[in-house]
Amino acid sequence: MAESTALLRIVIDATSKGASKGIGAAKKGLGSLGKLAGGLAVGGLGAVAIGVAGIGATSLSMANQLRESQTSIQAALGTSAEEAKRLGDVALGVFGNNFGASVEDVTGALIEARTQLGEMSDTELKGATESAFRLSDAFGLDVGESLSAVRSLTEEFGLTTGEAFDFITTGMQSGLNASDDFLDTIGEYSNLFAEGGSTADQFFSLMDTGMTSGVLGTDKAADAFKEFQLRFLEGGTAIEDAFASQGESHQEWIDGVSNGSMTTADAFADVIDMLGRMEDPVEANRLGVELMGSQFEDLGLSAITALSLSTSALEDTAGATEALDVKYNTLASGMEGLKRQALVSLAPIGDILLKGINAAMPTIKLAVDWFTTTAVPKIQEFAEAAGRWIAEFVNKARPIVQKFSETWSNTLGPAMVMVRDALSRISAALGTTGSEMTFMDGALWALEAVLKAAVLGLQAFALGAQGVAWAVEKIKEGVDKVAPAIDKLKKKMSGLSIPSWLMPGSPPPLFHALQDITKAVKSVPSFDDAFGMSARSPIAGASGAGQSAMVTPPAPAQAKSGFSIGNITIHANNAEDGKRAGEAFVEALNSRGILAGI
Average pLDDT over residues 261-286: 93
Task: Note the pLDDT of residue 558.
Answer: 44
Per-residue CA distances from 471 to 115, 426, 466 (Å) = 103, 10, 9
Q: Give the residue with greater pLDDT, 120 vs 544.
A: 120
Question: How many domains does the chain contain in total?
Answer: 2
Read off the pLDDT of each residue in 381-410 and give the average, rounded to a whole number. 80
User: Which pLDDT does position 401 carry in this prediction?
Assistant: 77
Helical ranges in 260-371 per DSSP H? 264-277, 281-292, 294-299, 301-306, 331-370
Specify if 208 maps to a domain: yes
At residue 276, the pLDDT reads: 92
pLDDT at 130: 96
| Pick from 301-315, 423-437, 564-578: least confident | 564-578
| Closest listed residue to residue 226, CA positions, set 193, 257, 187 | 193
How much is the average pLDDT of 278-293? 92
The per-residue pLDDT for 188 is: 95
Instruction: Please give the residue that has the higher pLDDT: either 192 or 595.
Output: 192
Residue 108 lies in a domain: no
Question: Does 362 reside within a domain?
Answer: no
At 345 the pLDDT is 58
- Segment among 266-270, 305-309, 469-473 with least mean pLDDT: 469-473
Top pLDDT among 421 and 282 is at 282
* Mean per-residue pLDDT over the chain, rounded: 73
Q: Is the model's pLDDT at 397 over the cut of 50? A: yes
pLDDT of residue 393: 83
Q: Which of 29-33, 139-143, 312-316, 329-333 has the lowest mean pLDDT?
A: 29-33
Which of 326, 347, 379 terminates a domain? The answer is: 326
DSSP 3-40: HHHHHHHHHHHHHHHSHHHHHHHHHHHHTHHHHHHHHH
| Lowest-confidence segment of 38-47, 175-184, 545-554 by average pLDDT | 545-554
Among the listed ranges 83-97, 251-265, 536-550, which one has the minimum average pLDDT value?
Answer: 536-550
Condensed to tens digits (0 to 9), the pLDDT of residues 325-380 reads 888 877 787 777 666 666 665 555 545 544 555 565 677 777 777 777 887 888 88
Is the predicted pLDDT of residue 83 greater than 70, yes or no?
yes
Flag whether 351 is in a domain: no
Rg of the chain, C-alpha, whole Å = 63
260 vs 367: which has the higher pLDDT? 260
Q: Which percentage of the chain shows pLDDT scores above 70?
A: 58
Within 13 Å, how many C-alpha atoms sit on residue 257's CB side? 19
pLDDT higher for 376 or 525? 376
| pLDDT, mean of residues 185-212 | 94
Using 50, 70 and 90 to split pLDDT, how confident is the model at 437?
A: very low
Whether residue 209 is contained in a domain is answered as yes
Is the Cβ–Cβ distance between 126 and 164 less than 8 Å? no
Q: In residues, how long is the chain?
A: 598
Q: Which domain range does residue 199 map to?
A: 169-326
In a domain, 406, yes or no: no
Determine the pLDDT at residue 58: 61
Average pLDDT in the 537-552 region? 38
- Res. 563: pLDDT tops 70: no
Position 377 scores a pLDDT of: 86
In a domain, 37, yes or no: no
| 376, amino acid identity | V
Q: Are 218 and 181 in contact (CB under 8 A)?
A: yes
pLDDT of residue 528: 42
Cα dihedral 351→356→359→360 (10° resolution): -130
Greater model confidence, 110 or 597: 110
Q: What is the pLDDT of residues 109-131, one digit of tens each?
A: 999 999 999 999 999 999 999 99
Residue with the bigger pLDDT between 491 and 151: it is 151
User: Span 162-174, mean pLDDT?
Assistant: 95
Percent of the chain beyond pLDDT 90?
Answer: 36
Of the three residues 283, 298, 326, the one that is the final residue of a domain is 326
Asked if residue 1 has pLDDT above 60, the reply is: no
Task: Note the pLDDT tens digit of each residue in 84-110.
Answer: 999 999 998 999 888 998 999 999 999
pLDDT of residue 594: 55
Question: Mean pLDDT across the stretch 479-499?
Answer: 62
Query: Does position 412 have pLDDT exceeding 90, yes or no?
Result: no
pLDDT at 110: 96
Residue 169: C-alpha distances to residues 60, 101, 115, 155, 157 (Å): 38, 21, 21, 18, 17
Q: What is the mean pLDDT of residues 200-225?
A: 91
Mean pLDDT of the region 31-55: 45
Residue 475: per-residue pLDDT: 73
Decide if 155 is inside a domain.
Answer: no
- Domain endpoint, select from 326, 344, 376: 326
